[in-house]
Structure 1
Amino acid sequence: MNDFLSHLKKEADKISIPEKELNDAIQSAILKGKKKKWSLRKKIAYFSGAAVLLFGLFIGSAFISPTMAEVASKIPYLNQLFESKPIIDVISEELRRKYNIDSVGIQLIPKKKVEVAIVGTEEYYNDVKDDVEKTVKDILASRNYDAFTVNVYKQNLYREIEDPKQLEFERQSGELMDAIYEELEKYDFTVLSVGVRNNDKEKLVELDVPNTEPKVDEIKKVVQSVIESKNIGAFPIKIHKIDMEKREQEARWRTVIKTIAEGLMSQKEYKVKGVGYSNHPSPMTITIKTTVSSSDPEARELGNKIEKMVVDFINSKEAKKAVKDDPYKIIVYSKDKKELN
């Protein structure tokens, strides 16, 4: 998964407009630290402020009646998916109801595929493999999701060998995280999130605070005193000032952007490999990366088709509740970084 995330970052760097990732679909992607909910501070948050490509894969119920299908056929494609159930959940729930499944995941790089790991004996695996694969394909086909292949494999159980050095890093990080939270609770600060990076290459404490927080220097001093008290070496402190209006806007747009990403990336005809967004600076800008060359005679037509689909969805009654009257911009890129719309 680390290689996967690294690849996403590299791909994002190739686009001139900064993009942010929504990690609802990729749970192990970049974490943005911990929200200020002090009763839940036992988890360690490792995070990065890097902007990366957005891959939100969401879908509605995979099984619908003929009557519902007729009704749905009259609803624009993206509107059908809006606020729907993630396809990964639909697949996982159906498989776990029938089979011994270790994990279900979606891989997007280098090719789009659904991967299912089966737990059990070799005999059990051979007995159910074809049925599992068919179930997944049927669910995908029910939504005309033709961009994915399916890979079913046997999960080999093994005892993970824990790295003593890594365990020590984690122990130090956990103690430092707890101590920082405990100390910050004593003050009238507004801290949105705290994260710790601790490994061979980097040591860092990062904090998100509102850009209206007047006591940033005091916060730094408090955190620095905690770091020094732990005697675990130097940890630079980095504070990110968050525009709360921008954050609120991001929260409103999140489901809309997920829907756009899921819809465009799941069908071959759109030739989309990545969707991203940024509202820094304004307006909200959605970037869509395709696999077509700008020299393709049909590239411009595809770019305009994608733009119209997205604009129609954003302006629809369903999405309007989330986006309100926010100005926005849509950019569709070719694989050679040329605008197609």
Structure 2
Amino acid sequence: MKKFILIVVFSFILAGIFTFINQPQAETVNRPSDKETSNLFESLQNELYEIYDIGAFKTASNPNYTINEIIIPINGSQEYYDSVKDEVESLVKNIIKTTSFKNYSVIVEKNKLDQFFNEKAKDEMDLRYEITKTVHDSLYEAYQNQIGDIGITDSAQQLIIEVNTFFNGQESNDFFKEMENKLNIIFQEKLSSNLLVKESSITIHIYNKYGERIN
């Protein structure tokens, strides 16, 4: 009886070992060499950059190389992304099918960085428009028909407001000093919540009708 029990236990142990050995393993991919990666990027650049608006593509893998991806970011609008996504994916798969990257997944995605900068540029444009419109409209109330274009030049943490006028430059210094004071009040009372104004020091340049600075 003891012998029979030992045989049964031994059989279970063997069965467990064989079951463990025969379990399906996650498919791994040998890491491509730097030369192969360089060749891939060159091929992608040659095939994609002249036809599509593509961001910086890259490869990504987990530590044991069981998950491997080629990521292709598409620049531009959602409409453009939708129109070229499948085409780009098919082209990339065709490029890699005879390379060490043939088992990599191809991920074509909308460029998040491009989207971020587009949104940031739009926000900044709106802020600039608010400044120029507010300055122009406010000065026009005080100096009708004498105010031209309002320009903005910005550098690191400095906002230069350029006020072009139709004055001939013969006015007194006090006159333009008064205009400059009005501008400072406009920024304090009407534009204090504008992010460009809040984050920058303001410098005001006033020009006469000849383009000469008069303050």
TM-score, normalised with respect to structure 2: 0.43
Select the structure of larger CA radius of gyration.
2
Higher helix share: 2
Instruction: Give the structure-1-normalised TM-score.
Output: 0.29
